[in-house]
Amino acid sequence: MQLVRLSQQKRRKLLLLDPYPRNNPYHLSSSERKAIWFPKLSLPVIAAYTPENWDIEIQDEAVRDIDLDYPADLVGISIMICYAPRAYELAAEFRKRGVKVVLGGVHPTYCADEALQHADAIVTGEAEDSWPRVIADFEKGQMQRHYKMESFPSLENFKNPRVDLLANDAYMTRECTFTTRGCHFDCEFCSVSPFNGKSTRRRPVSEVIAEIKRVKGFVCDELVGRIGRGSMLEAVKIAAKIRFGVEDGGIFAFVDDLHNSNRAYCRELWAALKPLNIKWGCQSTLFLGDDEEMVKLAAESGCVSVFVGMESIFEESLGETHKPFNKVKKFEEEIQMFHKYGIMVNPGIVFGFDNDDESVFERTVEFLIRNHCELAYFNVLTPLPGTPLHARYEAGGRIFDRDWSHYDGKHVTFTPTRMTADQLQNGFYWAQHHFYSLPNIYRRLAHTSQRLVPRFVMNWEFRRVIRRACPKGELTPVASVIKTLQAKLPSVRMENPVPNALLTLKKMSGQVDQFLSIKTRKHEKLTALMVELEGALDHLNAAELKTRIAAAANQAKVDIILNFEHLRHATPQALHTLLDGEFFKKAAPSVRVRYQKLSETFGNTLSGQNFHADLVEEELQNA
């Protein structure tokens, strides 16, 4: 008996904290959390790598208030960048009480010097190999200040995350696990590759399956216990939630950043999942939808939801962020492929790329609604520390807000290129409200025949959060003008077409296009709209374009720049129609219509013409 008491006295208490400011307007209510929120695995993993002679408690501030008087011997806090200020507040409170505090996660890894000012020790990089050393040094009273990852931990014989320590009945699901780490892509704004490596490590399939069986059994036993302890009414409620797929445990979440990084691995894993009869969701590339065999296999193994990093519906923006493997022209077909097999598509969208102007919000939301995307996560581009984007914006002097709590994808922290910071912020708000309006929820979900109840509940709870946390936001007149100017007009009167001199030098095909494509965007430096012309210009579509330009100029009150560089063919009559300076002076007297790459492309045709141009091309090219 004396030995047992002595052993009990030697047990120490570890408190692991996941900070989330309680006054954050995006802080979720209980019903919102149970519909759309699942826990991060960082703390359950740390708990798994803590020696068995420690008692461990996990407190998630998204779920409950932190107990500042908890009798901990050691406190560990995992920090995402946007929660750093709150984490520092909690660390200060425990240190005032004489408790040692260790900080880890993404933020201390990229801002180590700062984090060291608020902690007794920090752990940088993935922590599975470092954490046992932290505990051993603490027990000896020799804890160091900085524990650095020496190499990426092996994912073989990985200890099962302690999801049993998470609060029950608090999340959409606690059935969370992972299959891979790292990402071989190099998206400029993303912190995954710098933190987890630019290659992918994979867990053995047998170990993943064994963990899923264990967690599934644990959750089922707990549900049975809740039904047995509660009233008949409570039992009926739980049974109804299980039936409609809205109870904790109704779906497994693979929290990998790139679940489908290796198709051979996925085939093996998904084949092994099929006999388990579970529903699951993951983060995936959208181009998985190019392979029907793989999508079908995923669906047959239980996949019901994919979060896809779509980011943008504009090729230029995807190229800017080093994501050219996303092909905009394939997006609709890829989404349809997932829908064909009943899989919900949940795109991640980012606003604020250098290519984005004020039209990006409406055009993106319309695309998502038209393609029946069941959910979408909208974010403002954020220059997170440690990313190439942060380095580029820092070098360019574009970062104006260094409050880490604003680095949550919901605040503008940098100076955009083709719109103001306020326009970007308001457009983000507008997109949230418009996408999750009741009519648009109906339009997006009306096509679905699977898991309609949980999909509607998720949309409803997202709507509640947005209505509470986001101002409504407004789009400027320029936004609708840019959208309106986008057009594809037929070219039917192409007698004696003149080829573009620049394209002729490049030995382009001499075939005359049948359409005039009009692409509009905000100029990067000038207060003007850049109208890019492609295809063929005849006098009919030139007249229509001229009318549209005048109307747009009057509505937006900005100059218009017509760029002829990529226009393949034009008839002399069409050029004469479009270069009618007197028309623009009368129709849009308050603005100027300017011409770019005109003389270089159709100079011989214009010889002797006196067209209206308020700014010569050389000035535009140097602007």
Tell whether the model's pLDDT for residue 614 goes beyond 80: no
Note the pLDDT of residue 1: 44
Q: What is the DSSP letter of 414?
A: B
Burial bucket for residue 129 (CB in 10 Å: 0-12, 13-18, 19+): middle
What is the predicted pLDDT for the residue at 4?
Answer: 47
Of 16, 27, 17, nearest to 405 by C-alpha is 27
Would you say residue 6 has pLDDT above 60? no
- Residue-wise pLDDT for 568-582, tens only, equals 999 988 888 888 878
The model's pLDDT over 9-24, given as tens digits with 9 standing for 90+, comes to 578 999 999 999 988 9
The pLDDT score that the predictor gives to residue 507 is 59
Q: Give the model confidence (pLDDT) of 139-159 as tens digits.
A: 999 999 999 999 999 999 999
Query: Which one, of 386, 384, 421, 387, lies nearest residue 404 by Cα?
Result: 384
Does 569 or 7 have the greater pLDDT score?
Answer: 569
Residues 6+ apart with CB under 8 A from 295: 288, 289, 337, 338, 340, 341, 343
Question: Looking at residues 292-297, what average pLDDT do you find?
Answer: 97
What pLDDT was estimated at residue 609?
52
Does 263 or 242 have the greater pLDDT score? Answer: 263
pLDDT of residue 513: 82
Answer whether residue 247 shows pLDDT above 70. Answer: no
Rounded to 5 degrees, what angle do the CA atoms 301, 305, 311 make?
A: 135
pLDDT of residue 506: 63
Contact 348, 377 (CB under 8 A): yes
Both tokens assigned to 232: 């008949």
> What are the residue ranges of helices labelled H in 230-245?
232-244
The answer on pLDDT for 619 being more than 50 is no
**Higher-confidence position of 512 and 316:** 316
pLDDT in the model for residue 238:
67
Band (pLDDT 50/70/90 cuts) for residue 436 is very high
> Residue 185 corresponds to which tokens in the numbers above?
């892509």
pLDDT score, position 615: 39
- Residue 623 above 60 pLDDT? no
Record the tokens describing residue 290, joined without a space.
């190019």
Q: What is the predicted pLDDT for the residue at 508?
A: 57
**Whether the Cβ atoms of residue 526 and residue 559 lie closer than 8 Å to each other:** yes
Q: Angle 42-44-50 (CA atoms, 0-180°, nearest 5)?
A: 105
Residue 132 has pLDDT above 50, yes or no: yes
Q: Which residues contact 87 (CB under 8 A, 6 or more apart)?
A: 17, 19, 77, 79, 103, 107, 118
Amino acid at 259: H
What gap in Å lies between CA 191 and CA 66, rounded to an integer?
28
DSSP assigned state of 531:
E
Identify the burial level of 303 via C-beta atoms within 10 angstroms of its C-beta, where 0-12 means exposed, 13-18 middle and 19 or more buried: buried
Q: What span, in angstroms and rounded, lies between the C-alpha atoms of 109 and 384?
A: 12
Q: What pLDDT is stored for residue 616 in this prediction?
A: 38
Q: Are 573 and 604 in contact (CB under 8 A)?
A: no
More confident residue, 517 or 219: 517
In the structure, what pLDDT confidence band is assigned to residue 78 with cuts at 50, 70 and 90? very high
Backbone angles phi, psi at 360, to 5 degrees: -65, -35
When pLDDT is cut at 50, 70 and 90, the band that residue 510 belongs to is low
- Whether residue 8 has pLDDT greater than 80: no
Which domains are delineated in the chain? 2-148 (3.40.50.280), 172-475 (3.80.30.20), 478-622 (3.30.750.24)
Of residues 137 and 182, the one with the higher pLDDT is 137
- The whole-chain average pLDDT of the chain stands at 89
Q: What backbone phi and psi angles, to 5 degrees, belong to 92?
A: -60, -40
Is the pLDDT at 620 greater than 80, yes or no?
no
- Which one is predicted more confidently, 72 or 220? 72
User: Residue 11, exposed/middle/buried by CB under 10 A (0-12, 13-18, 19+)?
Assistant: exposed
- The span from the CA of 285 to the CA of 303, in Å, is 14
Share of the chain above pLDDT 90, in %: 61
For residue 3, pLDDT over 80 is answered with no
* Helix residue ranges per DSSP H, 245-387: 263-273, 292-300, 315-320, 331-340, 360-370
User: Is 198's pLDDT higher than 90?
Assistant: no
Least confident stretch, 52-66, 247-261, 564-578: 247-261
Three-state SS for 2?
helix
pTM of the predicted protein model? 0.88
Cα–Cα distance measured from residue 277 to residue 282, given in angstroms and rounded to the nearest whole number: 16
pLDDT score of 77 more than 90: yes
Tell me what pLDDT residue 378 has.
98
User: Which has the closest alpha carbon to 162: 90, 68, 55, 70?
Assistant: 55
Per-residue confidence band for 601, with pLDDT thresholds at 50, 70 and 90: confident
CA 385 – CA 109 distance, rounded (Å): 10
pLDDT per residue as tens digits for the range 373-388: 999 999 999 999 999 9
Q: Is the pLDDT of residue 605 over 80?
A: no
- Euclidean distance between CA atoms 518 and 486, whole angstroms: 5
Q: Which helix (H) or strand (E) holds 4?
A: helix 2-10
Report how far apart, in Å, the C-alpha atoms of 357 and of each of 212, 354, 389, 390 are.
Answer: 45, 8, 19, 21
Q: What is the DSSP string of 385-407?
A: TTSHHHHHHHHTT-B----GGGT
pLDDT above 60 (res 535): yes
Q: Using the predicted structure, report yes or no on whether residue 604 has a pLDDT greater than 80.
A: no
Confidence tier at 193 by pLDDT (50, 70, 90): confident
Distance CA 41, CA 166 (A): 10
pLDDT, tens only, 103-131: 999 999 999 999 999 999 999 999 999 99
Contacts of 13 (CB under 8 A, 6+ apart): 54, 55, 56, 57, 70, 71, 72, 73, 74
- Distance CA(223)–CA(242), nearest Å, equals 10
